[in-house]
């Protein structure tokens, strides 16, 4: 293996030197959000736990990281700030670490951009990270405490993918015949689809990010379950059933899972087949929706026709 790696490195880069890294068998993926301006000020916006991964692809992210002792979190954030300051970093960025079972941590990399999962930090801190990225680029000074911004509550993010859990997560392509995202207090949706959108094989299969906030982790988790159950995607398969299985798993509820959680605990998972009565109800709802039209009364503020999707109840995708 070493000789093969040396040969590949030499042919690709003209240098066959290798860097050996310690393998962490039961690690957690914990990262720190930082902001740094052009005047030497660097602040951290706390950590995110991104350990729920399938084939090294993040699926669920959250903040704060459950079960990590405060002294360890303090050391992580201090290390992230020191790294950004050492390279004179200027912008929003993320410093990623592997956290070992003994709470020792090791640098993975620094992503010099906003991450997909940045909304959980926004919900936790109340800051607009996109705005701050632009303000820093425009030469503004950070007006945030260097010791860290106050955080409130707990936030979760689930990535909604167009993939079929029943077929080894093969990509699902085609037209989204109907899409309705969840809504309500403590729920945010960042999406790139609408009813009629086409999902092609040429781009990342992510359709949306569903983010929930709660006063504590359990409230955020329950709110996420409700949000996913209320999300409707017709025409393409999605990973919603898989996300729900993760959120309801006892180890996830307890917190502190490792990056091997899915392969160890859900490797044999299969979605439950929908009951016949649910399929019939969904078809009836689709027929009712197709035949319904907005009414003048509804436009005037009077009660609108019954929403067929709500009439069916909470379900996911058919």
Q: Residue 12 and residue 46: Cα distance in Å, rounded?
A: 38
Which residue in 113, 141, 248, 314 is the catalytic one? 113
Helices (H) and strands (E) in the chain, counts: 11, 14
Give the closest residue to 89 by CA, choosing from 41, 126, 155, 157. Answer: 41
Known catalytic membership, residue 113: yes
Which residue's structure tokens are 């914990």?
30
Residue 9's alpha-carbon distances to 103, 208, 210, in angstroms, are: 33, 38, 40
CA atoms within 13 A on the CB side of 257: 24
Residue 97's alpha-carbon distances to 36, 48, 137, 287, in angstroms, are: 19, 10, 26, 50
Structure tokens at 226: 């409700």
Question: Are the CB atoms for 85 and 42 separated by under 8 Å?
Answer: yes
The set of residues, in sequence order, having a beta carbon less than 8 Å from that of 205 and lying 6+ positions away, is: 161, 162, 163, 171, 172, 199
Residue 30's alpha-carbon distances to 56, 239, 266, 309, in angstroms, are: 14, 23, 21, 38
Which residue's structure tokens are 């995110």?
48
Q: Residue 62 and residue 138: Cα distance in Å, rounded?
A: 30
Give the closest residue to 156 by CA, choosing from 226, 77, 85, 250. Answer: 226
What residues act catalytically? 113
């Amino acid at each position: 293996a070493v000789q093969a790696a040396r040969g590949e490195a030499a042919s690709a880069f003209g240098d066959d030197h290798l860097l050996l890294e310690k393998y962490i068998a039961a690690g957690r993926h914990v990262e720190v959000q930082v902001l740094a301006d052009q005047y030497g000020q660097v602040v951290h916006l706390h950590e995110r736990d991104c350990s729920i991964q399938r084939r090294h692809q993040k699926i669920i992210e959250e903040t704060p990281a459950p079960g990590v002792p405060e002294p360890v979190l303090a050391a992580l954030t201090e290390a992230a700030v020191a790294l950004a300051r050492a390279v004179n970093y200027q912008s929003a960025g993320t410093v990623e670490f592997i956290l070992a079972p003994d709470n020792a941590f090791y640098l993975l990399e620094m992503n010099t951009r906003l991450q997909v999962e940045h909304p959980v930090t926004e919900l936790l801190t109340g800051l607009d990270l996109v705005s701050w990225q632009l303000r820093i680029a425009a030469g503004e000074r950070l007006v945030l405490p260097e010791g860290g911004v106050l955080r409130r509550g707990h936030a979760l993010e689930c990535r909604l993918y167009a993939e079929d859990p029943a077929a080894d997560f093969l990509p699902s392509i085609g037209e989204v015949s109907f899409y309705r995202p969840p809504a309500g207090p403590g729920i945010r949706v960042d999406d790139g689809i609408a009813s009629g959108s086409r999902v092609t094989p040429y781009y990342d299969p992510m359709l949306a990010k569903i983010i929930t906030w709660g006063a504590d982790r359990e409230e955020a988790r329950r709110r996420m379950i409700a949000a996913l159950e209320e999300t409707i995607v017709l025409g393409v398969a999605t990973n919603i059933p898989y996300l729900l299985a993760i959120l309801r798993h006892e180890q996830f509820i307890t917190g502190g899972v490792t990056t091997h959680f899915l392969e160890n605990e859900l490797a044999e998972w299969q979605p439950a087949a929908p009951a016949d009565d649910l399929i019939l109800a969904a078809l009836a709802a689709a027929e009712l929706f197709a035949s319904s039209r907005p009414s003048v009364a509804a436009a005037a503020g009077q009660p609108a026709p019954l929403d067929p999707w709500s009439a069916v109840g909470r379900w996911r995708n058919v």
